[in-house]
Every structure is written in structure tokens, then in C-alpha cells.
Amino acid sequence: MTATASMPLLRYPVPSVIVRIAYEIEQRGVVYSWGGGHGSDPGPSKGTCQGYRGKTRPCPAATTRGLDCSGFTRWVYARAFGLDVLGPGTTDAHVRRMRRVGSAVPGDLVFFGKITKNTVKTHHVGIYLGNGKMMNAPETGASVRVDDIGRKKDFAGFYRY
């Protein structure tokens, strides 16, 4: 007799659920905070000034409760999946947990930077909404919003969990 183990399968939420959650967060007016959203639990948190390169001086992140781009996508995915599937890492860590797709559907993540077989160096992520649009936490001084994907440089591809 052979012993077998089973593990519950994680159900992928309907893409429209991911998009709906993103829009709900946008309606809250959550502000950008460098490093925000990377606490032990997904969601807005005070950011950090470590590694901050923004134009606003002095760095406002340590006193601002909000989300950066990967903190935003982490929170949306955690709410949609029912658990923290992306974890507290950066865009580089998150893209490593995903698979690249050639044809995006709303709810996929859109990454910016350089991703090759041997190199992952990303600098931004958003949630694909369709029609060339994404929801993202774009920069210091802004709130979560909808932008054209073409607004950011270095498109690296669409990814799905």
C-alpha cells in the first residue's frame, strides 16, 4: 500500500473579484507611502525612508500610513485569495511567485523593469484592468488610481498567480 498526501488546492478567484477589490481600495483614497503595506499583515501601514528616492523632501514615508505599489497589489490579492499569497516582499519577490502570461485578463499583475531568465530587477507593479489600463499606487503624493500602462517605462509583462 502506498501512502499519499493531499493538499487543499488554492482556488483562483474570478478575475472580476480582484478588479472589484482594487476599485474598492481606490475609492478609499489610500495614499502612497514608500514601503507601505509590507507589515506582517497586508494592508496600509507606515512606510520607510530606507531606499527612498522620491522628489518630496524630507521623506514622508515614515509618518504616512499608506501603500506602495507592491503593498497595494499584495493587499488586493490577499483579500481576493483569502490569504497572503504574495507575502511582504518587494516587486522582485512578488514576480518570482507568478507566471508570465502572453494574453492578460483583468486581475493579472503588470510589472515594469527588467525580467530575464537570470535577472529580476523590477521597479513597479499594478493590477491590469483591461483596455491598456491598470490600478496602481503610483508615487509619493498620489493616491491609488487608474493609469495607462504606457505611462510607466520598462513594461516587463503580465503575470498571473
Q: Supply the residues annotated as catalytic.
A: 69, 124, 136
Q: Taking Cα atoms as reference points, which of 113, 114, 116, 112 lies closest to residue 128?
A: 112
The rounded distance, in Å, linking the Cα atoms of 92 and 75 is 16
Grid coordinates standing for 52? 527612498
On the CB side of 110, CA atoms within 13 Å amount to 28
Hey, is 56 helix, strand or coil?
coil
Local structure of residue 57 (DSSP, 8 states): S
